[in-house]
Amino acid sequence: MSDDEFRPKRRRVRSPSPPKPDDDDDDSYVPYVPVAQRREEKFAKLQSWGVRSGRERPKKPQDDAEEKEQELKEEELRREKARRERTLLLEAQEVHKKKAAEDAKKTVEEKAEEADAEILEAIKSRRKLASDMELAKGIKYTESLETSWRPPRFIRERTEEQHRKLRDKYHIIVEGDDIPPPIESFRDMKVPQPILDYLKSKKITSPTPIQLQGIPAAFSGRDIIGIAFTGSGKTLAFCLPLIMTALEEEAKLPFVQGEGPVGIILCPSRELANQTYENMVIWCSELAKSGKYPQLNCLLCIGGISMSEQGHALNKGLHIVVATPGRLIDMLEKKRFTFNNCKYLCMDEADRMIDLGFEDDVRNIMSFFKRQRQTLLFSATMPRKIQDFARESLIKPVLVNVGRAGAANLDVLQVVEYVKQEAKMVYLLECLQKTPPPVIIFSENKNEVDDIQEYLLLKGVEAVAIHGSKTQEERQYAIKAFKSGAKDVMVASGVASKGLDFNEIQHVIIFSMPKEIEDYVHQIGRTGRSGKTGIATTFVNMNTPEQTLLDLKYLLMEAGQK
Ligand SMILES: Nc1ncnc2c1ncn2[C@@H]1O[C@H](COP(=O)(O)OP(=O)(O)OP(=O)(O)O)[C@@H](O)[C@H]1O
């Protein structure tokens, strides 16, 4: 008998099956098995015969079935995990191999340079606006998204010099490569007729400077950083391109339930989201009413409203979502809809979205995108560091700047008054006499907002209040009452009212000066909208920080104010 034939018999000794009686002398060989192991084997054997330790309850057959099922499930999970790990490993190996092949071709200097760039890139990418997936896979898009839109021939035939002259005429500053031409009429931009008719009915007949350059750039599929003073019509500039994209996608293949959205507009506050959503709904219904365009479905995705109210929008193909970050993430995580077909992302008040607290949320939202998107960042103010950062995160962006970023609207007369802290309330009443209503009063502090409202109500002034701690209903009621003219004065905290478009505000009173000058610009921007003039009165005193006063001084000088 050879050695090979001999060994398996030896191993059999350890097997739980009893030795065969006719086994010959091979069986007399019993290798040493440590006590602990023997004990374990004995225990296992007893268990397989159904004997259990006293502490364990006797098992019922259904327990066994459950246990088996559990085991199967665990096994399946283990296998799934192993499969995933193997795929990741293979991918990593593939990337590594490719990189090694590329590296072999490079000189030492090139490699050193690349290493430096990588370190810099790693630092920057911590704050990049790209999705984690893109960052992880090193995906870098270099070309803007293609759209079917082209400017009319007569505009395409104009020279660069003619475009420049037109931009100068409207004080539009642009930066970027191959900038699409400015277009002076909505019709020449090929805006659908039903929307043209609707805009005309609202006395919106020719585009504002930000629209004139921003819309052609956005229609061309370009990423945009759009900066234009408050009340200059930015909303239309970023909503119309999304409508056009949605129409184009719907024409290719109509959306059915579970598909969409095509694009998303992110806003920093519920009120702003609500306002933009309402505009979107009107424009889309004008299109559908005409019978020449399909119905585009919009969803408002903000905290404080129940999703069942919005259920109807999810029962059909979804085209447009207007959202605040928190609720949007919630909906995406719950898979109420996906970004599989989403190719348009616009952030309103983008500087605030990136700078203040929302950054992680924004990055989280980015991680849901599965394909290249067109990204648009709009705001009245855009600090340089955010501009630079945004520029790096976008693809071949076009920067459109109407008036210096952060500059105040020149249609607002800015008055700054020294008012002692304890005299503010009383002076406020006097100040309200400067103009007829409607008037907005801003304070940075929620309690102060409540105190001012209470004081005004006591003095017989019809005032409503809005700040972050009010419920959604209270906030909506206040906005509605003020917009409709039922209330003369709105007292508001800066954050809650940013970007809101109220009709013909005569006077903005800044009861307590915000620390950031950008917030001041947004607040005074509630008046002097769409070409009308307004007054802003700001109270300052010993409590106002010196830096804030200096910023204010430069802003006033720049705006040519006293
Ligand atoms: N081309 C236009 N001609 C006349 N009015 C317009 C035009 N475009 C928009 N408007 C009107 O101007 C007002 C302000 O527009 P919008 O709210 O878009 O300003 P904004 O630039 O977004 O301001 P903010 O920075 O405060 O959010 C709206 O009532 C809008 O209907």
Q: Residues 208-242: pLDDT tens digits? A: 999 999 999 999 999 999 998 878 899 999 999 99
Query: Mean pLDDT throughout 21-33?
Result: 43
Residue 83 has pLDDT above 60, yes or no: no
Between CA 85 and CA 82, with CA 98 as vertex, the angle to 5 degrees is: 5
Residue 9 has pLDDT above 80, yes or no: no
Q: Tell which residue, 449, 439, 437, has the closest CA to residue 492.
A: 449
Beta strands 534-540 and 298-301, pairing class:
unpaired
Structure confidence at residue 332 (pLDDT): 92
Query: Mean pLDDT throughout 512-518?
Result: 85
Whether 514 and 523 have beta carbons less than 8 Å apart is answered as: yes
CA 235 to ligand 1: nearest atom: 18
Query: Mean pLDDT throughout 335-359?
Result: 84
Q: Which two tokens stand for residue 420?
A: 């002692």
Q: Is the beta carbon of 268 within 6 A of some atom in ligand 1?
A: no
What is the reported pTM?
A: 0.63
Q: Is the beta carbon of 495 within 6 A of some atom in ligand 1?
A: no
Structure confidence at residue 108 (pLDDT): 55
Tell me how far apart the terminal alpha carbons of the chain are, to the nearest angstrom. Answer: 113
Ordered by where they begin, the domains of the chain are: 125-402 (3.40.50.300), 412-558 (3.40.50.300)
| Rounded Cα distance, 407 and 402, in Å | 9
Structure confidence at residue 51 (pLDDT): 41
Q: Is the beta carbon of 269 within 6 A of some atom in ligand 1?
A: no
Structure confidence at residue 79 (pLDDT): 64
Which among 186, 189, 235, 527 is the best mutation to test ligand 1's pocket, defined by most ligand atoms within 8 Å of the CB? 235
Range with top average pLDDT, 30-44, 423-437, 491-505: 423-437
Measure 232 CA to ligand 1 centroid, in angstroms.
Answer: 5
Mean pLDDT of the chain: 79
Measure 235 CA to ligand 1 centroid, in angstroms.
Answer: 6
Range with top average pLDDT, 456-460, 525-529, 544-548: 456-460
Break the chain down into helix, strand, coil percent, rounded to 5.
Answer: 50, 10, 40
| Rounded Cα distance, 277 and 298, in Å | 8
| Rounded Cα distance, 562 and 424, in Å | 22
Q: Is the beta carbon of 297 within 6 A of some atom in ligand 1?
A: no
Residue 38 has pLDDT above 70, yes or no: no
Tell me which of 154 and 560 has the higher pLDDT. 154
Structure confidence at residue 58 (pLDDT): 47
Structure confidence at residue 242 (pLDDT): 96
CA 186 to ligand 1: nearest atom: 1
355-402 tens-digit pLDDT: 666 777 888 888 888 888 899 999 887 777 677 767 767 888 999 998
Q: Tell which residue, 184, 164, 189, has the closest CA to residue 175.
A: 164
Q: Please give the share of the chain, as a percent, with pLDDT higher than 70.
A: 73
DSSP 381: -
Tell me which of 435 and 305 has the higher pLDDT. 435
Structure confidence at residue 254 (pLDDT): 87
Structure confidence at residue 393 (pLDDT): 73
Q: Is the beta carbon of 207 within 6 A of some atom in ligand 1?
A: yes
Structure confidence at residue 328 (pLDDT): 93
Strand ranges across the sheet with 439-443: 412-418, 534-540, 507-510, 439-443, 489-493, 463-466
Q: Which two tokens stand for residue 221?
A: 């599929």
Residue identifier of the C-alpha nearest atom 9 of ligand 1: 233
